[in-house]
Amino acid sequence: MDERQIVGKPASAGYAAGPVALLSQTAGAPRTGGDRDIEMGALDSAVAAAIDDLSPLAAKAEGDGADIIAFQIAMLEDRALVQPAYADIEAGLSADEAWRRALDRQISDYESSADDYFRARATDLTDIRGRVLAALTGVKADAPLPAGAILVGEDLTPSRFLSTDWSRGGGIVLTRGSASSHVATLARARGVPMIVGAPLDLGKLASGTQALLDGENATLWLNPAPSTVHSLTGREGATAAVRIEEDERRLLPAATADGTAIGVYANISDLGEIASFDIGGFHGVGLVRTEFLFGRGSRLPSEDEQYVAYRGLAEWARGKPVTIRTLDAGADKPIPGLTLAQETNPFLGLRGVRLSLARPDVFRVQLRALCRAAVHGAIEIMLPMVSVPGEVEQARRYLREEAQALSALGVAYREPSLGIMVEVPAAAIAIERFDADFFSIGSNDLTQYVMAAARDDSAVGSLNDPMDPAVLRLIAQVAAHAKATNRKASLCGDAAAEPTYIESLLRAGLRVLSIAPAALGRVKEAIARVDLSRSAT
Amino acid sequence: MNDKIAELSATLANPLGLHARPSVKLTRLAKTFASEIEMRPAGEETWIDAKSIVKVMAVKATKGVILQFRAKGSDADEALAALKALVLRGFAEDPGLSEQTEPLNG
C-alpha cells in the first residue's frame, strides 16, 4: 500500500502511531436481515439483553437515576414498544432497521410535545434505541474504544472521549469537528493529539490501517513508509526533550521578568487526570469540571459518590485551593435525563447555573456533597453561566440551606466561598452588580458570546478570537473590579494556556491563570518572558 | 364469569403530570390486578391499556388533567379504587404523603 498524507486543521499537539479505529464502525455493522423468524428472535434477545444491562444499574442507582432506569426498563418490558417493529420485520425489514423505525417514531412523538418534561423523555428513548441496536449489531453499548488506536470519524462526543483509555497513547482524526469544541479542550488537557477537518473519505478507509499522526502540523499518514516513520520518531524524541525542559520549568516560581508574581492554577476535567501530575507546580486548582461525574451510565451521581470524589480532590491538593464548578450541563454537554433534548439554540438555552436552578433537586445534592467535602480541604464553589445577580443570590440561599440542614443533622460541613464564572457578556459588562466571592473568566464562552461566533464552527473561526479588543476590554474591566474590591479574578479558558496570548492577558490586569496541566511548562516560560515594567511592544 | 365493569375518574395533581415515575407506578399497580384496565384523559375518545407504559406515557397528561379509568374483571372495583388512591395521593409511595421529590420551582 502506498503512503498517503492527509492534512487537516490542528486541534491538539502531539504524536501518535497505531492502527486506525473507525468511529462509525464501533457502532456495529448493519444486519442484512432476510429470515423473519431469525430477525424476530434477534430483536427479542436484543431487548432482553438491554434489560439485563440495565438491571444491575437499577439496583445500584438512587433517587432520580433509579427512576430513569426503572422507566427505561418498564418501556423495554412493554410489548407495545416492540409490536410496530414486528410488523416491519413481517414486511421484510431487518431487525435493526425495524427497531430503529419504531423508536424513531416514538422519539419524534416525544420531541414534538409542547411540554418540556415530556420532550426531554426523547433522550431516554434515544438511550433505549441505542442499547438495543448495539445488542443487535453485536456491540456492547458502553464498549470502550480501543486503547492506543487513532480514532477516525466524523465527530466524537465528550462522553466517548472520557470513556476511552488514553493511557496507551492514541489520537483523534475528525473529518468535521472544531479545534474549539469541548472534546478538543479535553484532548489538549490529556495531551491527546487531535486534528479536525481532515479531508478523508471514511467509506474508503479500513479499521486496522497503520497510521501516524502529528497533531501540531495537523498531518495524518496512512500506511506510512519506513522513512516517514523514522523521521517522525526522531521528532517524537525531540518533543520528548522539549517536554523534559518544560518539566524543569514546572517548579519555577511563576513570575514575569519584572518580578510580578502570577498565580498558575490547574484545570481538571476528570478525576483520572490527577494521577498523572503533581499539584506541586501549581498554586491550586482553578477549575474542576464536575460533568465527568454526571452522564456516566443512565443515572445521576448520589451525594456520597460526589462527596468521595470532591474529598479525594481536596486531599490530593494538600491544602491548596480547589475551585469546583457546579454542574455545567447543557449546550455541547448534554446529560440524559437532565438536559433538554430539543432546544432551538442550546448555547442560549437552559445550561449551567440556569439548569441547576431549574432542577434544585439535583443542584442541592451537589451543594451538600461540596459542603461535606469542604471539611477536608480548601474547596471553593464556582457557578457557571451566571447572567444576573439573582442567580447568585438564589444559589447562595440553597447553599446556606444545605449547610444548615447538615448542621441540624450533626454532619461535619463547611460552607465554601461562592464565586462565579464570567462568561456571559451581561455579567462581564455589569460585573459590579454581582455579589460573588471571586470571579473566573471563562474565555471560551465569553469570546463566542461577545463575538457572536460559535466555538465549533470553523467557518467563523477567525471571528472567535479571545484577543479581540472587545473581549480584552471586558477582561480588563473584570480584573479592575476584582482588584478594587480585593477579590480574586482568574481566567480559566483555553486562552490562558496559549503562550502568544499571555502577555495581553497579563497587561489586561489578570494575575491568575488556570490552565490544562500539560501546558504548565510553556505557560510559566511565557510568563517569564513578559516584562510589565515596559510598555507593550 | 363474575366479570364486573366499573368506571371512575381522578384529577392529576402532581406538578409534572403523568411523567416517567408516576407512569411506572401506575402501570406496575395496574398489572397487579387480573382485570382489563383502561384509561384516557377526559375528553379523549380512545381508551388505552393502563398496563402499558408506552401507551400511558404517550397520553402526556399534564397537571390538572382528569383521568378516567374503566376496568373489566373479577377485581375491577378493587383495581379502580387502588388506582384512584394512587392518583389522588400524587403517586407518593405511602398513602397520606404527597410526592415530595418534584423540583421546588419546576
User: Starting at the edge strand that comes first in sequence, how are the strands of the sheet with B48-49 ordered?
Assistant: B4-11, B66-73, B36-41, B48-49
pLDDT at residue A144, rounded to an integer: 58
For chain B, domains (ranges, CATH) are 4-69 (3.30.1340.10)
**Type of residue at B45:** E
3-class DSSP state for residue A390? helix
Average pLDDT over residues B84-104: 60
- Cross-chain residue pair A63–B58, CB shorter than 8 Å: no
Helix (H) or strand (E) holding A325: strand A322-325
What is the crossing angle of helices A79-90 and A36-60, to 10°? 160
Average pLDDT over residues A334-348: 80
A475, A441 Cβ separation under 8 angstroms: yes
pLDDT in tens, A293-331: 886 666 788 999 999 999 999 999 988 999 999 999 887
Identify the closest residue of chain B to A357 by CA–CA distance.
B105
Confidence bin at A30 (pLDDT 50/70/90): low
Q: Is the pLDDT of residue A130 over 60?
A: yes
**β-pairing, A9-12 with A322-325?**
unpaired
**Type of residue at A82:** V
B9 versus A496: the higher-pLDDT residue is A496
Q: Is the pLDDT of residue A235 over 70?
A: no
Average pLDDT over residues B96-102: 39
Q: Is the pLDDT of residue A241 over 50?
A: no
Average pLDDT over residues A135-164: 71
3-class DSSP state for residue A403? helix
- Cross-chain residue pair A357–B20, CB shorter than 8 Å: no
Q: Is the pLDDT of residue B106 over 50?
A: no
Q: Does B63 touch chain A (CB under 8 A)?
A: no
Cell of A41: 428472535
Q: Which residues of B are part of the catalytic machinery?
A: 19
Each as own residue / partner, the long-range contacts of residues B97-105 (CB below 8 Å, 24 or more positions apart, any chain) are B98/B13, B98/B14, B99/B14, B99/B22, B101/A63, B101/A64, B101/A361, B102/A361, B102/B14, B102/B15, B102/B16, B103/A358, B103/A359, B103/A360, B103/A361, B103/B15, B104/A360, B104/A361, B105/A357, B105/A358, B105/A360
Distance between CA atoms of A524 and A439, rounded to whole angstroms? 22
Q: Specify the range with the lowest mean pLDDT, choosing from A88-102, A336-350, A353-367, A458-472.
A: A336-350
Distance between CA atoms of A446 and A9, rounded to whole angstroms? 23
pTM: 0.54
The set of residues, in sequence order, having a beta carbon less than 8 Å from that of A465 and lying 6+ positions away, is A447, A451, A471
Of the partner residues A115, A124, A359, the one whose CB lies closest to the CB of residue B103 = A359
pLDDT at residue A359, rounded to an integer: 92
pLDDT at residue B98, rounded to an integer: 42
Q: Is the dihedral of CA A416, A417, A420, A421 positive or negative?
A: negative
CA atoms within 13 A on the CB side of A310: 37
Q: Specify the range with the lowest mean pLDDT, choosing from A28-32, A114-118, A374-378.
A: A28-32
- Cross-chain residue pair B28–A74, CB shorter than 8 Å: yes
| Minimum distance, in Å, between the CA of residue B13 and any CA atom of chain A | 16
Q: Is the pLDDT of residue A68 over 90?
A: no
Q: Is the pLDDT of residue A179 over 80?
A: no
For chain A, domains (ranges, CATH) are 4-23+145-240 (3.50.30.10), 36-136 (1.10.274.10), 252-529 (3.20.20.60)
Distance between CA atoms of A321 and A285, rounded to whole angstroms? 6
Percent of chain A with pLDDT over 90: 45
A245, A232 Cβ separation under 8 angstroms: no
Distance between CA atoms of B90 and B64, rounded to whole angstroms? 12
Neighbour tally for A173: CB within 10 Å? 30
A175, A154 Cβ separation under 8 angstroms: yes
Q: Is the dihedral of CA A56, A57, A60, A66 positive or negative?
A: negative
Maximum pairwise Cα distance, chain A: 81
pLDDT at residue A382, rounded to an integer: 98
Known active-site residue A182: yes
Distance between CA atoms of A493 and A446, rounded to whole angstroms? 9
User: Starting at the edge strand that comes first in sequence, how are the strands of the sheet with A194-196 ordered?
Assistant: A4-7, A219-222, A210-214, A15-22, A150-153, A171-174, A194-196, A9-12
A50 versus B48: the higher-pLDDT residue is B48
- List CB contacts (< 8 A) between A75 and chain B: 53-54, 57
Taking Cα atoms as reference points, which of B39, B34, B17, B21 lies closest to residue B83? B39
Of the partner residues A113, A124, A359, the one whose CB lies closest to the CB of residue B60 = A113
Mutate: best of A69, A75, A367, partner B, most B CBs <10 A: A75
B59, A121 Cβ separation under 8 angstroms: no
Confidence bin at B102 (pLDDT 50/70/90): very low
Q: Is the pLDDT of residue A218 over 90?
A: no
pLDDT in tens, A400-446: 999 999 999 888 999 999 999 999 999 999 999 999 999 999 999 99
A383, A418 Cβ separation under 8 angstroms: yes
pLDDT at residue B25, rounded to an integer: 92
pLDDT in tens, B3-58: 677 788 888 887 778 888 899 999 999 999 999 999 999 888 899 999 999 999 98
Q: Is the pLDDT of residue B97 over 70?
A: no
A527, A255 Cβ separation under 8 angstroms: yes
Q: How far is residue A457 from each of residues A40, A454, A462, measured CA to CA in Å?
A: 43, 5, 10
Paired strand residues for A151: A21, A172
**60-89 of A, contacting B, C-beta below 8 A:** 63-64, 67-68, 70-71, 74-75, 78-81
The set of residues, in sequence order, having a beta carbon less than 8 Å from that of A234 and lying 6+ positions away, is none
Q: Is the pLDDT of residue B62 over 80?
A: yes
Average pLDDT over residues A444-473: 91
**SS3 assignment for A422-460:** ECCHHHHHCHHHCCCCEEEECHHHHHHHHHCCCCCCHHH
Helix (H) or strand (E) holding A357: helix A353-358
**Rounded to 5 degrees, what angle do the CA atoms A110, A114, A119 make?**
35
pLDDT at residue B17, rounded to an integer: 83
Q: Does B46 touch chain A (CB under 8 A)?
A: no
pLDDT at residue A60, rounded to an integer: 62
Taking Cα atoms as reference points, which of A438, A502, A468 lies closest to residue A286? A438
Confidence bin at B100 (pLDDT 50/70/90): very low
Average pLDDT over residues A367-376: 95
Average pLDDT over residues A19-26: 72
Q: Does B48 touch chain A (CB under 8 A)?
A: no
Q: Specify the range with the lowest mean pLDDT, choosing from A19-33, A90-104, A311-325.
A: A19-33
**SS3 assignment for chain B:** CCCEEEEEEEECCCCCCCCHHHHHHHHHHHHCCCCEEEEEECCCCCCEECCCHHHHHHCCCCCCCEEEEEEEECCHHHHHHHHHHHHHCCCCCCCCCCCCCCCCCC
Distance between CA atoms of A4 and A202, rounded to whole angstroms? 14
Confidence bin at A240 (pLDDT 50/70/90): very low
pLDDT at residue A294, rounded to an integer: 84
pLDDT at residue A419, rounded to an integer: 98
Q: Mean pLDDT across chain A, nearest whole number?
A: 85
pLDDT at residue A155, rounded to an integer: 76
Identify the closest residue of chain B to A81 by CA–CA distance.
B54
Percent of chain A with pLDDT over 70: 89
Of the partner residues B28, B55, B60, the one whose CB lies closest to the CB of residue A115 = B60
Per-position DSSP letters for A452-504, written without gaps between them: T--TT-GGGTTT--TTSHHHHHHHHHHHHHHHHTT-EEEE-SGGGG-HHHHHH
A275 versus A470: the higher-pLDDT residue is A470
Distance between CA atoms of B90 and B84, rounded to whole angstroms? 10
**β-pairing, B66-73 with B48-49?**
unpaired
Taking Cα atoms as reference points, which of A511, A513, A480 lies closest to residue A494? A513
Cell of A292: 465527568
pLDDT at residue A143, rounded to an integer: 54
- Cross-chain residue pair A361–B101, CB shorter than 8 Å: yes
pLDDT in tens, A244-255: 445 667 777 789
Distance between CA atoms of A112 and A146, rounded to whole angstroms? 37
Cite the DSSP H helix spans in A112-251: 116-120, 122-136, 158-162, 182-190, 226-250
